[in-house]
Amino acid sequence: MAQSSSTSPAVQPSGAQLTTTRTTVEFRAALIAMAVVALIPLGVSNPYWLGVLVVSMYFAILAGSWNLLAGYTGQFSLAPATFAMIGAYTTGLLNHYFGTPPLLGIVAAIVVAGLIGLLLGRAVMRLVGPYLALTTLSFAEIMRLVTANSIDITRGDLGLSVAGLMDSRVGWYYLFLGALVLLLLMFYLLLRSKAGLFLQAIRDDEVAARRAGVNVVFWKTAAFAISAAACGFAGALYAHFAELVTPELGLIGQTGLIVSMTVIGGMGTLAGPLVAAFLVYVMSEWLRDVGGYQLVVFAALVVIFARFFREGLWGLAKAAVQRGRQA
């Protein structure tokens, strides 16, 4: 399969699955999936199901962002839902108390979430594995507790009511889809560049990356900030969609869903978490009527995939395609 090109200097080594090549393949697959999603409203007009898909897109953004941080850079943060909550409350508080227009609020949410992500990322720079997970878990719980208990400001669990952006559900559908595709494109461009090489190198062996000259501090912090900003963006969008902001957005269970989607989809792949977000969320809503075992099933899938299928659904799909080619 690999052809040697050692006799003439080739600009594009043939046969090799360079990370840039792999990322492009994944990006194209993800675009196809997004195209399918774009066509759905032509056939489905039930607002409930459109709403389910909108929430799926919310999770797809979160899963994709967490994947950047954990799947590509190896930083296992348990705070993605927290940043969504931070983004939601940023725009929510601005809108509720100052009448800030939603679009401005969303921009503010991205900035605030990104900044807090930057600070947190810088703080946890030296932590690995379980230590990082525990620290971000504490951060997540503290933030949620503070948000829920600051009833004077946030109205706690009652929630903060927030202006909407539009009435049309289909309009929201395409807005979220647009946001998702935009982020997908951003991540693609980022991962295709040298950043993609550096992040994965950091994930594989931080010391070796430093030895090779990679500015590990910068890139780890950048991944944290970008991931947090994207999560904040999703949270802010959701705030104006649901027209209500509650601390439930930052529950550990939400992070559990995000982690599940990413693991099942395939950590460290562009398309996997996005597609899995839809599958997991839509299935869970669908199964909800049929007895409600969906969460048990998905949690079991996470364990099984982690144990046996590290590459997730994307890996399984890849293997199937390769087997098909050889047949």
Partner 1 sequence: MTLLSVRGVSKRYGGLTAVDQVSFNVEAGELVGLIGPNGSGKTTLLNILSGLAVPDSGEILLDGAPCQGLTPERLAQRGVMRMFQLTRVFRRMNVVDNLLVAGRALGLGADEALLRADALISELRLDVIRHLDAGQLSGGQMKLLEFGVCFMVPPRIALLDEPFAAVHPTMKEIMGDFIRARHEKGQTFILVSHDMPVVVELCQRAICMNAGGVIIDAATREVLNDPRVIEAYLGGHAV
Partner 2 sequence: MSGIDVDLAVNGLITGLFYALMAVGLSLIFGILRIVNFAHGEFYMVGAYAYTLIALGLGVPAWIALPLAFVTGAALGWLTERTLMRPLYAGYTSWGLMRDEYAVIVTFGLSLFLINLVDKVVGPYAFRGPALVETSRVVLGPVLISGHRLLAAGIAIAVIAITAMLIKWSFWGQQIRAVSQNRLGASLAGIDTAKASVIVFMLSGGLAAFAGALLSPVINASPDVGIFPAIKSYIIVVLGGMGSVPGAIVASLLLGVIESFGAVYLSYQYRDAFGLILLMLFLLFRPQGLFGEKGREV
Which of positions 8-27 make contact with partner 1 (CB under 8 A)? Answer: 9-13, 15-19
DSSP state letters, 17-44: --HHHHHHHHHHHHHHHHHHHHHHHHH-
Stretch of 31-39, 79-87, 141-149, 187-195 lying at the interface with partner 2 (CB under 8 A):
141-149
Spatial separation of the C-alpha atoms in residues 133 and 55, rounded to whole Å: 26
Other beta carbons within 10 Å of 306: 14
194 binds, among partner 1, partner 2, none (CB under 5 to 8 A by kind): partner 1
5 touching partner 1, by CB under 8 A: yes
* First-to-final CA distance of the chain: 15
* Binding-site member from 194, 253, 303, 322 for partner 1 (CB under 8 A): 194
- Minimum CB separation of residue 77 from partner 2 in Å reads 10
Bridge partners (DSSP) listed for residue 161: 244
Please say whether the beta carbons of 263 and 312 come within 8 A.
Answer: yes
For partner 1, give the closer residue by CB, 74 or 114: 74
* Binding-site member from 35, 39, 103, 134 for partner 2 (CB under 8 A): 134
For partner 1, give the closer residue by CB, 157 or 205: 205
The set of residues, in sequence order, having a beta carbon less than 8 Å from that of 161 and lying 6+ positions away, is: 96, 243, 244
211 touching partner 2, by CB under 8 A: no
126 touching partner 1, by CB under 8 A: no
Spatial separation of the C-alpha atoms in residues 277 and 280, rounded to whole Å: 5
**CA distances to 50, 52, 60, 260 from 162, in Å:** 21, 20, 23, 29
- Minimum CB separation of residue 2 from partner 1 in Å reads 4
Q: What are phi and psi of 249, to 5 degrees?
A: -60, -30
- Minimum CB separation of residue 248 from partner 2 in Å reads 13
Matching residue, tokens 């797809």: 60
For partner 2, give the closer residue by CB, 148 or 282: 148
Query: Which candidate, 254, 251, 192, 198, places its Cα nearest to that of 223?
Result: 198
Matching residue, tokens 């594995």: 129
Angle ∠(289,294,298) on CA atoms, nearest 5:
165
For partner 1, give the closer residue by CB, 6 or 46: 6
138 touching partner 2, by CB under 8 A: yes
* Tokens linked to 25: 């393949």
Stretch of 7-15, 145-153, 168-176, 236-244 lying at the interface with partner 1 (CB under 8 A):
7-15
Show the site string, 71-90: x = touches partner 2 by CB under 8 A, - = not: ---x-x-x------------
46 binds, among partner 2, partner 1, none (CB under 5 to 8 A by kind): none
Side chain identity, residue 264: I
Mark out the alpha helices in 124-168 (DSSP H runs).
129-149, 151-154
For partner 1, give the closer residue by CB, 119 or 216: 216
Which of positions 208-227 make contact with partner 1 (CB under 8 A)? Answer: 208-216
For partner 2, give the closer residue by CB, 28 or 310: 310
For partner 2, give the closer residue by CB, 47 or 292: 292
Spatial separation of the C-alpha atoms in residues 88 and 7, rounded to whole Å: 57
Compute CA 143 distance to the chain's CA centroid, rounded to the nearest angstrom.
Answer: 20
Residues that bind partner 1 (CB under 8 A): 1-2, 4-6, 9-13, 15-19, 194, 197-198, 200-201, 203-205, 207-216, 268
Residues that bind partner 2 (CB under 8 A): 70, 74, 76, 78, 123-124, 127-131, 133-135, 137-139, 141-142, 145-146, 149, 203-205, 207, 252-253, 256, 259-260, 263, 292-293, 295-296, 298-300, 302-303, 306-307, 310-311
